Structure formats: C-alpha cells, structure tokens
Chain A
C-alpha cells in the first residue's frame, strides 16, 4: 500500500516543485495510508469504547463505593468527568498499546511487506522517511487521545447531567473553560506519548518483523511504568518517559500548574532527540534488502 504513496508523491512533485511538495505530499499520503487502515480505526474504536463502557457501567449501577480510577465518583454529578476518568484508565495501558502498534509498525511494516526499498528508490531520503513516519505516529497519538476525550465528553453529555465543573482545587469553572482544559489535557497526554513513539520508531528500524517491534515497544512502556512504581529505583523516576503521564491533573488545578507541562515537553523532547538520532544511525547504515 505504500507503493501508492510513492506514486502520489511523484505526481505532487511535478505540480508544486520538487523539494517542499515532496515532504508534505509524502506526509499527507502517509497519513492517508495510516488512517485508511482498518486496524487504525479498530484501535480508535477500542479507545472510544473505554469511556463508553465506564459511563454505561456507572449509569447502570448508579455510582460506586468511591473506589476505582480518579474522578469516577464525580461522574454521576457531572458527565464531563467521563473523559477524564477514561483518560486515567487508558493512559497506563491502552494508549501505549495503540501507540506501540503504530510506531512499531512504521518502518518494520514496510520492510516486511517489501515496500521499503520502493520507498527509498523514489527520491525520498532516509532522514525524511524517518521524520514522516514519526510525524504520522505523532498525529496518531493526538487522534487516539482526542478519541478518548471526545468520546468521553459525548457519552457524558448523553447519559449524565452537565454543569460547571469542580476542579480538584475545589474551585468551580464554567463548561466552556472545562472543555478548553480537556483540550489542553489531550495535548499534554499526546506530548507524553511522543517519547514512546520515538522509542517505537527506533525499535522498528532494528527488525523486519513488525509484530516484534510492536511487542517490544509495548513491553518498554510497561517496564518503564513498573520501574516508576518501585521505590528502589527512585533516582531513575524523573528520567522515565512515563513519569509525567498521570500528572495531567495539574491542568485541573486553580490556577493551572504549568510546571509539569513544561517538564513533560522537555523530557519527551529529549527522548525524541535521543531515539530519533539512534533510529537515524541504525536506519542510515542499514542494508535495505526487502
């Protein structure tokens, strides 16, 4: 299917001039390939199911006993908390799982279907290929996070009363501001997943077996979270890419605590730089045989 993209970039290049069009055309065709796949839609549907299941379960059982994920006990009073509760559930496993699939497949998938060499025969440099693959994975991170958030807000609107939102500081903000904060949280979580996407891209350049790369990426995310739980590895915690994942609550304080947003962005930037460079080193020296 990526052979289509080769053709696509070729036709774009003749229209708009060689260099710029190549980058954007290739990126857009890569996105088209990604979001035309049934697997991508299946993963987004599974992510959308998380808030729907939570909301329906709460609706049927009429609240809970105060246990369970964050914000669960507030859903019956305000449906806007469904999306936040679903994010807290999806962040440790479901989101890394889907990101691992997309990022792990990025290069190894092309290699296994034999389309990688066609991509490289066409005037697509290896650096550009890596950048476009990473950018597509980043767009998927945003799409996945927004899916959970938007599905949560919609099902919350449908099943529960909606009103001004009580922040965790105890202050109350309007519905409009809470939607804005939900969008900010989606961006925050997306940023947090970029480091994992870069790791997945690097692993994907190591192998021709996409399933292996996907599994390895997911395992890395689980190992990072286990290390983050152990008090014996406390010195390591701030360096783990999963360190700030559940700190999205800082955007629900009054006033907003921006420090974790900046620290998260910086940490993920470091991961992207390191694993992007490693991926380049591996991919640029790799003999592409398939």
Chain B
C-alpha cells in the first residue's frame, strides 16, 4: 500500500514543479528594477536626449476597448479587397490601409517586429498567423506588402527627410535648439494645467530597467484614467505605453516592446522587392500626403467619405473634435462593420469604447473625443 502511494509521488511532484516554474516565470518578467531616483522632469529630459535610431525589436500591442473582435470580419473583407482595389484605386486609401484594417489593428492583440536603421530605414512586420503585413521604408522608397492576398503598394516619398518615423512634428524649428532639459521644462509647463505628471514604481520592459512616467488628467470629464509611459533608464527610449480607462486596473490599450536589441539590423532587410506574382499598386503620395495625418478615432469615416477640416472644442483631455462629412452617409452606415460596432442613440449612432467615443449625428456631423457619449450628444446639440 505504501509503495503504491510512493509511486504516485512523481505524478504529483512534476505537475507541481511545472506549475511553480510557470508562475515564477510569469512573475519574473514583471519584477521591478531598482533605479536611482529621478524627478519627472529628469526622466523627460532623458527622453529628449535619447538618440536611439537603430534597433530591432518585437512590439506587442493589445487593446481591450470593449469593441467586438473584428479580426474575422476584416479577414473576409481583406480577401475581397484585392478584387475591389483594382476598380476603386482612384481616391480610396489603397489596399492595406483602409478603415477596416485600421479598426482591426485597434481590436484584439498584435505582434509586430520593428527594424530601424537611422531615420530613413524602417521595416515593420505585423505578424499574423500564416500571413504577414509589411511596411518597408528605405530612403524615399515605401513598400506596403500584404501576404494574405499577395498585394503590394509602392510609393515614392517626396523628400526623404520629411517622413522621419516616430519623430515629433518639427514644423517650427526655433533659432536656438533647446536642450532636452529645457524641452522637458517647456513640456511640463504646457501640460501642467490639464495633466499631473508623476513617476510610478520602476518597472522592467523587454528585460530592460525603465522609469514609469504617469500622466494623469486633472479633469473628471474624460474617460482616460491615466497614461503610463515606460522610459528606458539607459537610453531614454520610450519602451511601453499603457492607457488606462478611468477606474480600470488593466490597460485598455497598450503597446510596448517584448524584445529589444540596440544593434543595427541587417541592411538586406530594407531592400524590398515584391515576389513574382504580386499585385503591385503604384500610389502617388505627393498629392494626398496629408491623408494619413488624422488616423485617430475618426478613421472609420475617412475611408468612406471625405471629411471637412475638423474643429476642436475645449482643450486638454475632454476636448471634442467635430467634423462634417460631405460624402454619402449611406455608404458608411450600410457597411456591415458599422452595424457591428455602432449603437443607435438619440440623434444619431454612437461608438462607445472604454477610452474614446464617436458620435455620428443624423445630419452628417461626426464628433469624437475621450469623453462619454452623453458629452458628445450635449456638444452636438449646441
């Protein structure tokens, strides 16, 4: 009897060991580092002084916006898109960057590999199951490739320097270049009326120690609870951004590195030639270069109808963007995707997520903001 009992020991011990290893492994990745204390201003200066332009890493993005999972729908429309793009390639945002895929990127979770070498060489690979979407920038050559329907879009950028990825808008270059420290001070002064900037506990992202910069809105009118930015302690490179909805402890939106190497990636990665049999579309970016500037929550409309110049009411976190849609509304509202995500409310249809609300009024106005739908309705009634 006792011997029989002893023989079950491994059967109990091994699962226990496996469970412990699994749990400990999960804890170890979230273990926090102990870094020298800094003020938020010093961390901001660290970000400003960051000069990392060459790296390769894996980005993980996940959204829990309360939207239905659209990956199945967009997969279906993605395969039909190859037949549609040939007929309507005139003014629509071509191929892979239509409104559906923009929405699809905002739901569920995605993994992407990012390779950057300098400011003019960038490759982003969105890893899908048995498929991949690639964006390759090499100097002025821009390729967008989608393996699921073997389609590619080729563009030549107007000037190589203009499209530096990830750089802040550098429209007004001051005569004297401010130091990172001065920039940090200016930024803090600018956001202070609306936002409290503080430092959270030190964290670890992609195996690197990081400071956690927390931006908390001072107003209660917004849906955003806080924004947390992990800043690499060594290089000042932002490693992770998490956006928390008000009253939620898990992020509603997060994007961050799970793996990062600061070595320059292989140069051959940026030499892209579409494989034989690819359906290549040439797209001239110089005419509609501002097309992709406003790919925020209003993106569902930009694909279907031309939007007028938006007006912004209020400022800070509870600002509301309002724009008028001049195109055909029925084209948008008859989209099955629209019925999937929007709910009818008084005065129009609303899209409510945990972070952002969008209201499409019956008279063709589109309002969006990080506020509850009721605030949008009140703004629409004015």
Contact = CB atoms under 8 A, between A and B. Distances in A.
Same complex origin of A and B: yes
Interface of A: 66-67, 70-71, 73-74, 77, 88, 163, 166, 168-172, 231, 246-250, 253-255, 257, 259, 270, 273-274, 276-278, 280-282, 284-285
Contacts of B9: 281
A71 B149 CA distance: 10
A53 to B, nearest CB: 20
A175 B149 CA distance: 22
Q: Which of B129, B130, B145 has the most CB of A within 10 A?
A: B130
A231 B69 contact: yes
A270 B147 contact: no
Contacts of A168: 130-132, 147
Interface in B1-29: 4, 7-15, 17-18, 21-22
B216 to A, nearest CB: 29
A163 B274 CA distance: 15
Given A250-B127, A285-B4, A273 B14 contact: yes
B58 to A, nearest CB: 7
A138 B273 CA distance: 40
B130 A88 contact: yes
A77 B11 contact: no
Contact of B277 (A77, A250, A259, A280): A77
B31 interface: no
19 contacts: A73-B150, A166-B278, A168-B131, A169-B132, A170-B145, A170-B147, A170-B275, A172-B273, A249-B132, A253-B113, A253-B125, A255-B266, A277-B15, A278-B15, A280-B10, A281-B8, A281-B9, A284-B7, A285-B4
A70 B276 contact: no
Nearest to A66: B79
Given A246-B129, A280-B10, A274 B15 contact: yes
A278 B14 CA distance: 9
Nearest to A282: B11
A88 B22 CA distance: 29
A7 to B, nearest CB: 29
Interface of A is mostly: helix
Contacts of B117: none
Contacts of A274: 14-15, 18
Nearest to B83: A66
Contacts of A253: 113, 125, 127, 132
A109 B277 CA distance: 51
Contacts of A231: 69
A245 to B, nearest CB: 10
Contacts of B147: 168-170
B131 A169 contact: no
Contact of B10 (A77, A259, A277): A277
B318 interface: no
A136 to B, nearest CB: 21
Given A70-B130, A168-B147, A259 B13 contact: no
B333 interface: no
B259 interface: yes
A67 B12 CA distance: 47
B30 to A, nearest CB: 16
A249 B79 contact: no
A66 B11 contact: no
Given A71-B130, A274-B18, 6 more contacts: A74-B150, A168-B147, A249-B132, A253-B127, A278-B15, A281-B8
